[in-house]
């Protein structure tokens, strides 16, 4: 087990009707003015926004609003939020939405905390934030884990660059997680969320480092429960237990619990960022499910025993003691079949990606030749291109 | 899944040589004077205390010391610490030791934070703390989970009363966990720790509430890894991976991760507190291992399916689909056999408990007839006595 720090201080308020407490919770902390940041019209139509405004008003908390965040949240939207917060002297950003809204809120928080720095420099690692406005969330989508993580991913429309960076400063102070708010999430978005949650744990599980007792077992247990809950939520969108398990697993999958004592590089996420950077219409979860099987088969030889462990413990596949590669590949196939059973794409062709962009994507993914992707198997530009090509499908 | 709040903000600094960073870490937070609180002579003999003092001195942090904490830490020792901290204007209590030292430190922190209240009143629930001094820990024993929990157990020598209470205020700010510091823990104390860690998860697992996907799977995974690591550490005290797994699992077993969405009452802990309150020579873990099998068989009929799930998923026992009680009992037997394999007692007779004290213990355990123990099966005084009698053994 490698040395590690674990720090997940977000206060998680989880369960039915918890969003109605938001005004009370913010008042406890003593904040007087907040930005309510949200996405499209669904939060308004469902009555969620009205309930939030009402709760804030009841406690005498002032607020300004900024809606319209879309999937793959943009730098320009965040900059709009930064300006508004500075002008209005906002004390906390309240994200009402899923990962896109939360990431946009984190970026706003970073920008307000460091008004003299171009916030994009944090994403290009040219600068590091010194402060950040506190962020609170009301989660409406189980997927990104952003509600309990230190990570933030933003797309700069200039050049279609999608980049992420992690900072303890913008990790949410509190997150209100009511699984009922996800009942209306579509079948497709539920599938995307299930894939994304699994992927946050899988990326860690297949990071660098060998077997790791407690972290492995927790990761495997978490994956088993997500697989089961995802299958149920796909068929019964209003099954509370399934929605609750997806939501809680989503938070735990990205708060570093499943990587304690192990290094991880999020290779598949890096591959996917280029994809949805190039094609903003592609949902993150769909991009991940289309890429993971090809990535796994490509790197499998660098960790056969580990892929076999995954197959046996997560998918209950019998170990082939004479040829562990058979077991490893069966686990990858089981994962691919599971994604397909949720009607998630398992090739880039299904996503209507043009074979002509693969080289450009591979080049961008190396930051134009400036990096390789570290991991169990280090990936250079030729490897990345080979994975993209394999992922196109027959 | 029941509604819950999860809040585990302790910063965990985990791995080899991490204790050497203590001065630097305390300086980061800006504290200038600390109480170094510790137990017996082992921390001194091993050189650990000297290393801690050196690290503090290097960073210019002043300190006073208070040693001599023993198993089942006493109220009188904590009161001595409170007086010392108030007199010396200490800003943080640094616990160097295991659960006893950490709990004593928490009690000191509560007392210093509320100098006008008799600190014992927090344990009898006659009062609640309003503030607490920050607590930091350097952990030397994997067992109690106190390094990441809000709980604190103290024995009042007057009447041999052992009582616990939980408070977010005294939850450690940071915990430094170096598994190497546990290499010298004796075989017996290692066994006690393994039992205690398992018990913190088992008490939650067998709390109130039905199957709970992600929390169950995490608990089961954690138990499997503890069982394996405990077996290895028992035979190879300097096996880093085994020691590391016990240490990390110990922290996760008591930070409420394994009870998210479920109510739990710690019945076996309540039964054990009377035991080691009456016999301070009895180690907490030994008391738990002597009581759990009898407790489990007594309450099993109130949750056969759950005990069967435990048997199948944790012990890989084949499900008896025609008679799930067979499976349930086989899981309890496997647990008892495992405890015995670590040379831990599985009866009170092995602990030389007199049959004559059982009635008094049962009476004390109900707070002299003022309470029952809530749980999957509610336990009154007659039930408690029956469990104690069964635990005596043949």
Distance CA A106, CA A172 (A): 8
Out of B4, B216, B249, the one facing A14 most closely (by C-beta) is B4
Per-residue pLDDT band at B160 (split at 50, 70, 90): confident
Q: With 90 as the cut, is the pLDDT of residue B39 above it? A: yes
Per-residue pLDDT band at B212 (split at 50, 70, 90): confident
pLDDT at position B273 is: 87
> Model confidence over A373-394: pLDDT tens digits?
999 899 999 999 999 999 998 7
Copy the structure tokens of residue A45.
């139509």
Q: Could you tell me the end-to-end alpha-carbon distance of chain A, in angstroms, rounded to an integer?
A: 40
- Lowest mean per-residue pLDDT among A25-34, B200-209, B350-359: B200-209
Q: Does domain A11-181 have CATH number 3.40.50.1970?
A: yes
Domain with CATH 3.40.50.1970 in chain A: 11-181
> Model confidence over B65-96: pLDDT tens digits?
999 998 889 999 999 999 999 999 999 999 99
In this structure, CATH architecture of domain A198-392: Up-down Bundle (1.20)
Phi and psi angles of residue B103, each rounded to the nearest 5 degrees, phi first: -65, -40
Burial of A125 (0-12, 13-18, 19+ CB in 10 A): exposed
Cβ contact A373:A382 at 8 Å? no
Cβ contact A62:A32 at 8 Å? yes
**Is the Cβ of A12 closer than 8 Å to some Cβ of chain B?**
yes
Out of B5, B14, B225, the one facing A13 most closely (by C-beta) is B5
Q: Could you identify the residue written with the tokens 């499908």?
A: A393
Per-residue pLDDT band at A304 (split at 50, 70, 90): very high
Q: Which of residues 233-262 of B touch A (CB under 8 A)?
A: 240-242, 244-245, 248-249, 252, 257, 260-261
Count A/B contacts: CB-CB distance under 8 Å: 127
Beta bridge partners of A5: B13
Out of B7, B218, B241, the one facing A11 most closely (by C-beta) is B7
**What is the separation of C-alpha B221 from the centre of its chain, rounded to a whole number of angstroms?**
19
Nearest-CA residue of chain A relative to B239?
A: A1
Beta bridge partners of B35: B64, B93
**Is the Cβ of B67 closer than 8 Å to some Cβ of chain A?**
no
With an 8 Å Cβ cutoff, are A221 and B214 in contact? yes
Q: Does domain B187-392 have CATH number 3.40.30.10?
A: no
pLDDT at position A125 is: 93
Phi and psi angles of residue A66, each rounded to the nearest 5 degrees, phi first: -145, 110
Of B43, B126, B123, give the one whose Cα is nearest residue B79: B123
**Average pLDDT in chain A:** 95
Enumerate the residues of chain B whose CB falls inside 8 A of the CB of residue A225: 213-214, 216-217
Distance CA A299, CA B74 (A): 56
Distance CA B287, CA B32 (A): 40
**What is the separation of C-alpha A388 from the centre of its chain, rounded to a whole number of angstroms?**
21
> Model confidence over B290-325: pLDDT tens digits?
999 999 999 999 999 999 999 999 999 999 999 999
Domain with CATH 1.20.1090.10 in chain A: 198-392
pLDDT at position B277 is: 81
Per-residue pLDDT band at B236 (split at 50, 70, 90): very high
Distance CA A50, CA A55 (A): 9
Q: With 90 as the cut, is the pLDDT of residue A289 above it? A: yes
Cβ contact B218:B114 at 8 Å? no
**Is the Cβ of B220 closer than 8 Å to some Cβ of chain A?**
yes
Per-residue pLDDT band at B59 (split at 50, 70, 90): very high
């Amino acid at each position: 087990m490698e040395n590690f720090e674990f720090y997940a201080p977000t206060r998680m308020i989880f369960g039915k009707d918890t969003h109605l407490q938001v005004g009370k919770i913010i008042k406890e902390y003593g904040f007087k003015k907040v930005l309510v940041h949200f996405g499209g019209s669904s939060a308004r139509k469902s009555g969620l926004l009205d309930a939030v405004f009402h709760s804030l008003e009841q406690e005498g908390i002032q607020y300004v609003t900024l809606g319209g965040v879309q999937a793959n949240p943009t730098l320009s939207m965040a900059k709009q939020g930064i300006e508004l917060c500075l002008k209005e002297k906002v004390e906390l950003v309240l994200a009402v939405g899923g990962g896109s809204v939360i990431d946009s809120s984190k970026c706003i928080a970073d920008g307000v905390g460091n008004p003299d720095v171009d916030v994009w420099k944090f994403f290009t690692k040219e600068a590091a934030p010194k402060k950040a406005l506190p962020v609170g969330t009301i989660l409406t989508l189980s997927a990104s884990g952003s509600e309990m993580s230190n990570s933030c991913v933003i797309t700069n429309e200039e050049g279609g660059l999608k980049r992420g960076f992690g900072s303890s400063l913008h990790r949410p102070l509190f997150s209100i997680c009511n699984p009922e708010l996800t009942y209306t999430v579509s079948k497709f978005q539920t599938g995307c969320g299930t894939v994304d949650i699994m992927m946050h744990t899988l990326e860690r599980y297949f990071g660098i480092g060998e077997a790791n007792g407690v972290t492995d077992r927790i990761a495997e247990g978490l994956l088993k429960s997500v697989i089961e809950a995802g299958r149920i939520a796909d068929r019964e969108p209003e099954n509370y237990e399934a929605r609750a398990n997806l939501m809680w697993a989503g938070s735990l999958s990205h708060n570093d619990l499943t990587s304690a004592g192990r290094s991880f590089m999020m290779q598949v996420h890096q591959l996917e960022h280029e994809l949805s950077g190039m094609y903003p219409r592609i949902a993150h979860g769909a991009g991940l499910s289309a890429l993971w099987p090809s990535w796994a088969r490509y790197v499998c030889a660098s960790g056969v025993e580990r892929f076999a462990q995954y197959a046996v413990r997560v998918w209950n596949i019998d170990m082939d003691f004479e040829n562990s590669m058979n077991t490893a590949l069966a686990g990858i196939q089981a994962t691919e079949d599971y994604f397909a059973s949720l009607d998630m794409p398992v090739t880039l062709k299904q996503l209507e990606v043009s074979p002509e962009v693969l080289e450009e994507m591979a080049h961008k993914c190396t930051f134009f030749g400036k990096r390789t992707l570290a991991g169990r198997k280090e990936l250079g530009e030729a490897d990345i291109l080979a994975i993209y090509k394999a992922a196109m499908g027959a």
